[in-house]
Structure 1
Amino acid sequence: MARNSNGRRVRHTDFLDNGMVAEYTGPGLLPGESHGGGSIGAYLLHRAMPHLPPWVAAAGIGIAGGLGSLQWEQSAAAGVGLTLASVALTGATWWMGKSTTQQRRLHSAITVAAASAWTTAACLAGPAAGPLPDMYLIGAPVLALSWNIRMILRRNDDPAGQSSDKGLLEKVGLARAQIGNATVEPNRVTAPLAVEAGEQTNEDVSKALGRIASALDLPTSAVRYQPDPGSSRRGELVIVPEDMLAQAAYWEGPSNLGGSIADPLVIGRYDDGSPMYLWLPGDPKAGRNGTHVLVAGGTGSGKGETALNLQTEILSRRDVLLWLSDPKMFQDFRPLLPGIDWAAEGGTPTEVMVEAIKAVIPARTRWLGQHNYRQWVPAAAEVQNDPAHTCRTDGRACGCAGMPYLVTWMEEAASTLRNIGDNAFTGIAQEARSAGVSLIVSLQRPSFDQMSTSTRASLPSVIALGCDPRDESFSLPDTVLDAGAHPGAWGNRRPGYCYLVTPGIDETRYASPGRTWGFAPDAVSLMEVLADWAQRNGAVADPITAGAASSVAGNAYTGRTAPSHGPAGHAAMEDDDVDETGYGPLVDPEDEHIDPEAELPESQEGDDAPIFGRNSGRKPSPEEARRLFADALAEFEAAGQMVVGPKDFTDWCDRHSLSRPWVSERLKEAAMAGRLEATNATGRWRIVPAPVAA
């Protein structure tokens, strides 16, 4: 680098034809430096240096004409050669100017044509012949000054730093748009953009994003536009030249083991390498509300691994419970089951869970209100020893057990919605956030024919993975799609690629693609260790949540199982009575009362009667049938099947010679008597647990 007379480096700035700023260094003074008389000449010289090349070229043309005349004056052959060379040089200049602006191309061709024509005439007739001296003395300074003026006009004195060059923007239909000074970060360029007032809007920029990506030879997802909320013609153009997501990164464990669920969950990374954060609870200090999440993506888009990212982060926190419904029988989540507070398969168990969540929400909201919490915060999960959060009327600390946050996860929710109605989650989604409950719904296509519009509107956060291009509008808001988000471009070819829209992150990130961590086969053992940690150190259900869930689900809800010995009550079993997993007896529950050491009873009369070919037997009386029906409800309740309908009584009807219409009537009677309650699904009833004597 050049230095000034004092040995200091000096930087000068020039403006190129594409509107970019070129910086170079040379001897001179930095702005604001004082200088003595000895350095003024050097300073002025180097300020004038960018304007000298046209004058040097003009002087060179005069010298070339004088020297050429000594060799070729009055030569006819030289005249032909010089004329052809002049025409060829002018044509080459015009041809090579195709890639630049039309104005610069024409200016360059005229300059070359004029200079070569004078040089040819001077070589043949002599530089002093006829009008040639006057033409040179007038024409050469004019051409040199025209290039100086062009250089000066390229400088932009607009305080916003907008460029006047229209090269790229002219190609994409935004010729009069102005680009401000760009901010350059690692693998990310952000430039303010303003379109012509009264002629174009931010929508025109959104429509041009594909053409901009084409002009830059980048994928469509690499170019985004974030409109300014306060203007319809201004925004920021974001370009990410390199896809840093192409190389998969694998899960290495939870980001914050033992932390609070109020801390951000890290579920992957953006295309510029920064982490993807997701918050579930709200934060009154940050002005952020709690959120529900929609996970949407087509087959093969990576929903399973995205779910594992979220669930492993949730289970690694100390103050949260996870309830999971999975009609696929926990195919992807089997290693995590010991750490999950309640896991339900599809069908009736999921119906029971949905009804339990509905009962849990008002109970939790009531508790939070009694303890002066307007929304769930980490302090609500601790023992209530603060007088500011007491339910006592005398103002003293109540000492109530804390209430952990609750995450209810509905995997493959389309199956559940088909079984119990497309508005099954509407009430939950609308009411749960104030109760410290987050609902996560995962399905392939969140269209209006699968999920009610009210439910969809109540899921403010979304993880949108690859999908059919026609389904993009079901996953992402229009504003995010207009900003350049395009999950349909991935389909199932980029597993884990996604867009994240959620409170707590900058809205300019909404249209930035990210990728969740991958789960390699060797991650199973680490997930099992995490599940064991959650089983031993994670939160347990508070009395309010557990009581409300049990009041609906009965013994279908037992909470997280105790470590090492499986469900409570199995620890004292003999080794021969426990299966190889250590989690259950090898006998059917209905046979547990049988003493295997007891003598078999003597044969009774009728034991040798044929089983087949007999009459179906007598039909029970109405009183006996009602008693049998009450016993059947008790059996369902004991088995944990808390949602029933006529189809569940098929075998029972066959055994007792009763018809399904008769069962339907008894179900209605039981509902009127308070033993059953109607659910969202037609013909399905929730069993109200029978009171237990004190």
Structure 2
Amino acid sequence: MARTATRSPRQPVNTSTDLVPVGRGGFISHLAGKAMPYTSPWIGAYTLPPMAGFATNQMWGDSALSAGLASAGLGVAGVVLSAVTWHAAGGSNKFRRYRRTQATASVAAGMGWLTCATAAGPFGSPMIDLWLLGGGVFAASWNIRQLMRNAHDETEPVEEKNSLGKIAEAIGLEKLTVKSAKGNGKGMVQAPIELAAGQTMDDVQAALPKLAAAMQVPTSGATIARNQENAGRGTLNIRVADLLKDGVQFIPPVRLGQLPNEPIPLGLYADGETFIINPFDADILQHLLVMGVTGAGKSEFARGLIAHLATRRKMTIFLADCSKGRQSMGHIADGVDWFLTDGREVKHLLKALPGAIKVRGDVLADEGLDQWTPKSSLNAMVLWLEEAADLADFSELDRIARAARSVGIWLVVSLQRATWTNVSTDVRANLQASACFGVDEAGDAGFGLPDRVIEAGAVPDWGSDRPGYAFATGMGIDQSRWAMEWRSGLTDRAYLAALVAAGAEHRDPLDEATATALGAAYAQRAHRGTNRLNPAPTGQLATAAHVLEEAGADLTTLPSAQEEAITVEIEDAYSEVMGLIPNDPEPDADYSGIDLDGSLPEVPADAGMQFERRDRLGTAEARQVIHEQIDQWLQARQLTFQPADLGPAAVSAGRGKPWLQGELKRLVTEGVLRRDGYGEYTILQSPLIPA
């Protein structure tokens, strides 16, 4: 009796090691069982085609008409069956893809042979030859597939590492799952990534320099965008081609007269998308820090942004640049309501601004608004400070930054390095938006960009080698874009000048509440930009429409009156301020050092100076002397003074310290003066003008 191997019912079957029945009959049965699956393709190939071809030929092959129609119908059926097979045999791994191709080819070949056999007959030459040869190839190909299937289960998913996955493995991120990467056709490749247990996104970010080197892209060309809802997922962004290297064209406004809270296009991202900011439409108006070395592109960015804002209504721009003066922004100065190039005037502005902020807050409260919106009667405002560390002290900037946000004043601070020596940590904490251009040291970027952006690989440490390239945060930009490189548009001086001139008809003058609150500092400003109530002289508006039209601008948005009366030759509306501001009155006079906050000094007999004795004037006459001196300073744009500066006037009126102190206090109460720190006073209005 033949012996058979026994196995515990619970022991799993292993086809590669199981024993087979012993004996001639059992061995033959075993071979037959193994061979049976491989005979099916041969049986089908050499029985079904001739039977089907014989049947169709007998039914429709008698006449040419019926044979032709039948062949046509079978041809269409073959195409349909091939398409159905292709879609039904889909799969994501390589075995299933090969099966889909093989199955579709088998159906197409079989139906093609049957179509021809219907008209020509299955047993004539060359149909019988094609059947014998093709059938054998068909059967053998399926036998090979069956052999491969025994070595691998086609239903088992196969993990295939793409090139990014292999690179990740090579740099030590073996457990990182890199999904299928997709290119956008504009030089960017994006790949979703998933972390394995025990990994963090910090591990991936630490390996970014190695990844950038392996991909042969710049360090800033490989960044990670975190998934804000899942710490185990993110997106790998790789810039494999720099499509911005030849420059980006300036993107003009879609129309003139937009509101401040509409989008502002300023350049292109590395993936080809438009770089857009919208600071006044964000939930919180975030003050902006612009940082980068000389030549990195800060001025180009500033010109483009200011030119856009200068074409809008309900918008007022104050620009202070004491380092370059009119060199960078002079051609668009008409769009700036107050262009300050002298430190003294900047000082007056910054001193007057807190009072204006308070007044604007009161107006918004009366209007039922928690923060500025276009519904308010107030203009939105931009205060742009170039090299702010040279213009104001830290405490002054901090006070303005904290209070200005809710009242619709956007503070922009531009400097080369935002270190603690240039801007305090308190001020920097209030500059929640950033535009960081090239820096010399990677560590400098940390003064302007949030830590999570730096950690994501956004480090613009290229200095001035790539002008216009930057990373930006805040200002209504989606956080997924914070670590994406962008480049600002290249501006043309003539074009921007014409654009700003065209926008004059839409620019609103500063609202009355703010203008009044700024007092004499604003009323006596050296530069006055143009607007719809204060247009540029007609003689200056001759050819700018032609400039815009030649540049491809859409003039349908320009008022017809402006189309014929705009010029690119916009004259300087601002003269040198330093030459117009006189020195302190008689600074070298013998009485210039008198301090009226203390007792009037006794004059030694040998001092060589004497004061003319005058009779004590009446109160009205004495006040007139003081008022005339203050008005004289105001007309000369000297808006600040110390009590000692009024010494000569007090002496000439025959008055002393107590009387003068009382007069200064009275003038503060009446709103003519404002007492600042350290005993200094700011002139708000002329005391000669009746209240």
In the TM superposition, what is the alpha-carbon distance from 1:435 to its structure 2 partner? 0.9
Q: 1:197 to 1:376 in 2, by over 3 A?
A: same
The amino acid across from 2:446 in the alignment is S
1:640 corresponds, among 637, 642, 659, to: 637
Cα separation, partners in 2 of 1:536 and 1:52, compared to 1, 3 Å: same
Deviations 1:206-254 (A, max 9, x none): 1111111111111112211122233443222122211111111233644
**1:578-617 counterparts in 2 under 5 A?**
none
User: Does the aligned pair in 2 maintain the 1:546–1:559 contact within 8 Å?
Assistant: no
TM-score in terms of structure 1 length? 0.64
Deviation string, structure 1 residues 85-139 (Cα, Å, up to 9, x no partner): xxxxxxxxxxxxxxxxxxxxxxxxxxxxxxxxxxxxxxxxxxxxxxxxxxxxxxx
Is 1:343 the counterpart of 2:339 in the alignment?
yes
Mapping of residues 280-429 of structure 1, within 5 Å: 280-282=279-281, 288-328=283-323, 329-380=325-376, 402-417=377-392, 421-429=393-401
Helix, strand or coil at the partner of 1:360 = helix
Deviation per CA, 1:300-325: give whole Å up to 9, x if none: 11111111011011101122111111
How far residue 466 of structure 1 moved from its aligned partner, in angstroms, is 0.4
What CA distance in whole angstroms lies between the structure 2 residues aligned with 1:363 and 1:324?
21
Counterpart position of 2:493: 524
Residues 482 and 23 (structure 1 numbering): CA distance in 2 closer, same or farther, change over 3 Å?
A: farther
**How far apart are the structure 1 equivalents of 2:499 and 2:615?**
55
Shift of 1:29: 6.2
Which residue does the alignment assign to 1:6?
79
Q: C-alpha offsets along residues 410-469 of structure 1, whole Å, 9 cap, x if unaligned?
A: 12212113xxx1232212221222112211111111112221222211112111100122
Aligned pairs, number: 513
Partner of 2:516: 547
Match of 1:436 in 2: 408
Question: Displacement of 1:271 after TM fit?
Answer: 0.8
Task: Note closer, same or farther for the CA distance 1:636–1:530 as it changes in structure 2 (3 Å cut).
Answer: farther
> Is this contact kept in 1: 2:265–2:277, CA < 8 A?
yes
Alignment partner of 1:492 is 2:492: no
Instruction: Please give the alpha-carbon distance, in whole angstroms, between the structure 1 residues aligned to 2:333 and 2:573.
Output: 14
Q: Tell me the distance in 2 between the aligned counterparts of 1:169 and 1:319.
A: 52
Task: Give 1:628 shift.
Answer: 7.0
8 A Cα contact 2:261 2:281, kept in partner:
yes
Check the 8 A contact 1:154/1:164 in 2, yes or no.
no
Paired letter, 2:166: G
1:485 Cα deviation (Å)? 0.2
* Aligned sequence identity (%): 26
Change (3 A) 1:170 1:584: closer
- Please identify the structure whose Cα radius of gyration is greater: 2
Residue 82 of structure 1 corresponds to: none
2:129 alignment partner in structure 1: none
Aligned match of 2:447: 474
CA distance in 1, matches of 2:275, 2:189: 19
Contact persistence 1:326–1:410 (CA under 8 A): yes
Structure 1 residue identity aligned to 2:373: V
The code of the aligned residue for 1:332 comes to: S
Tell me what 1:601 maps to.
none
Q: State the AA in 1 paired with 2:208.
A: L
Equivalent-residue separation in structure 1 for 2:650 and 2:367 (angstroms): 52
Q: Any conservation in 2 of the 1:16–1:154 contact (CA below 8 Å)?
A: no
Equivalent residue letter for 2:471: Y
Report Cα offsets for 1:127-175 as digits up to 9, x if no partner.
Answer: xxxxxxxxxxxxxx7xx679x539886714xxxx997995212211111
Greater Cα shift, 546-555 or 366-375: 546-555
- Secondary structure (helix, strand or coil) at the match of 2:319 reads strand
Shift of 1:183: 4.2
Q: Is the 8 A contact 1:270 1:512 kept in 2?
A: yes
Task: Indicate how the Cα distance of structure 1 residues 666 and 405 shifts in structure 2: closer, same or farther if over 3 A, else same.
Answer: same
Work out whether 1:462 is the aligned partner of 2:462: no
Q: Does 1:249 align with 2:248?
A: yes
8 Å CA contact 2:188, 2:270 repeated in 1: no
The Cα offsets for residues 270-307 of structure 1, whole Å up to 9 and x where unpaired, read as 11111111112135xxxx22222111111111111111
Instruction: Letter of the 2:381 partner, please give it.
Output: L
Q: Deviations over 1:612-650 (max 9, x none)?
A: xxx77757779899987765433222223323469x96x
Aligned AA (1:320): M
Question: Are residues 342 and 164 of structure 1, via their aligned partners in 2, closer, same or farther at CA, if it must alter by over 3 Å?
Answer: closer
Q: Return the alpha-carbon distance in structure 2 between the equivalents of residues 632 and 48 of structure 1.
A: 112
Q: How large is the RMSD of aligned CA atoms in angstroms?
A: 4.6
- Cα 1:550–1:218, aligned 2, differ >3 Å: closer, same or farther? same
C-alpha separation in 2, matches of 1:177 and 1:630: 78
Q: 1:345-400 CA distances to partner (integer Å, 9 max, x unpaired)? A: 231100111123222212122212212223222233xxxxxxxxxxxxxxxxxxxx
**Residue 569 of structure 1: aligned partner:** none
Distance change >3 Å, CA 626–CA 47, structure 1 → 2: farther
Q: Which amino acid aligns with 1:349?
A: E
Q: 1:354 to 1:255 in 2, by over 3 A?
A: farther
Any conservation in 2 of the 1:183–1:190 contact (CA below 8 Å)? yes
1:508 aligned to which of 480, 490, 493: 480
Q: Greater CA deviation, 666-675 or 162-171? A: 666-675
SS, match of residue 346 in structure 2: helix
Taking a change above 3 Å as real, the CA distance of residues 434 and 338 of structure 1, as seen in their structure-2 partners, is same
- Secondary structure of the structure 1 residue equivalent to 2:632: helix
Other structure's SS at 1:260 match: coil
- The aligned residue for residue 221 of structure 1 is 220
SS at match of 1:487: coil
Question: Cα deviations across residues 538-561 of structure 1 (Å, max 9, x unaligned)?
Answer: 111121111112265452388545
- The offset of 1:656, in angstroms, is 12
Aligned to 1:128: none
C-alpha change, 1:534 and 1:471, in structure 2 (3 Å) is same
Structure 2 vs 1, CA of residues 409 and 372 (structure 1 numbering), >3 Å: closer, same or farther? same
Q: Find the aligned partners of 1:499 and 1:4 in 2 and give their Cα distance.
A: 59
C-alpha distance in structure 2 between counterparts of 1:312 and 1:499, whole Å? 21
Shift of the alpha carbon at 1:499?
A: 0.6
The one-letter amino acid paired with 2:486 is G
CA distance in 2, matches of 1:282, 1:47: 69
Indicate how the Cα distance of structure 1 residues 245 and 166 shifts in structure 2: closer, same or farther if over 3 A, else same: closer
Q: Which amino acid aligns with 1:197?
A: A
Q: Which runs of 5+ in 2 are unaligned?
A: 1-75, 115-133, 539-570, 583-607
Conservation of the 8 A alpha-carbon contact between 1:306 and 1:517: yes
Q: Secondary structure at the match of 2:152?
A: helix
Within 2, Cα distance between the matches of 1:551 and 1:537? 26
Shift of the 622–218 alpha-carbon distance from structure 1 to 2, 3 Å rule, reads farther
Find the partner of 2:152 among 132, 149, 152. 149
| Pair 1:351–1:210, CA change in 2 (3 A) | same
Task: Please name the residue that 1:573 is paired with.
Answer: none
Which letter does structure 1 place at the counterpart of 2:370?
R
Provide closer, same or farther for how the CA distance between residues 583 and 352 of structure 1 changes in structure 2, counting only shifts above 3 A.
closer
**Secondary structure, counterpart of 2:189 in structure 1:** strand
Q: Is the 8 A contact 1:301 1:495 kept in 2?
A: yes
Q: How far, CA to CA, are the matches of 1:679 and 1:47 in structure 2? A: 100
SS at match of 1:499: strand
